[in-house]
Amino acid sequence: MVIWLIGLSGSGKTTLGSEMARQLRARHPNTVLLDGDTLRQVFAFDQGTDPYTVEGRRINAERITALCEMLDRQGIHVVCCILSIFADMRQDNRTRFSRYFEIFMDAPMEALRRRDVKGLYAAADTGRIPDVVGVHIPFERPLESDLVIDSSSDAPDIPALAAQALKQAGLDMDAPA
């Protein structure tokens, strides 16, 4: 199964995805967490500005999707945290993987700018960083996510939220194995 967490930078994808992977691993050790930022470094695709253009982002998304597919075919559960700005790729995911569950981490831009843990939005606003999704590159709200989580709050109960999301994905951690 591939659990696909999407949303803008700072929306909580990695925070929730990490907890979901931790809980899922307790029951299914064949679980891996993939994070878009980390994978950019692994693929050495994080140098310069070209990787952050729309074209560069598509190449990166295709690599991550192919990696998810490879792991899924081997019976490994994948929790993938990625911006996922390409609606056509998300639609293809529904038939590409053995099971697919999409979670949209929904936070308004004002909450993301307030949070701005990486300083990304401030740098984009001053022109120091180009090609930021949500500022320079449009982010269209996904229309077919299996679960939408309002992530505008700064202090959610992440373990409870992860358990709820896993249950909705059909991975009830309380049910007998």
Residue 16 sits at the vertex; the CA angle it makes with 157 and 147, to the nearest 5 degrees, is: 95
- Report how far residue 3's alpha carbon sits from residue 56's, in angstroms, rounded to the nearest whole number: 23
Contact 81, 165 (CB under 8 A): no
151: annotated active-site residue? no
3-class secondary structure, 36 = helix
H or E segment to which residue 67 belongs: helix 54-73
Of 84, 98, 151, 152, catalytic: 84
Sheet holding 147-150, edge to edge: 31-35, 77-81, 2-6, 100-106, 147-150
SS3 12: coil
Tokens for 22, please give them.
């931790």
User: Residues with catalytic annotation?
Assistant: 84
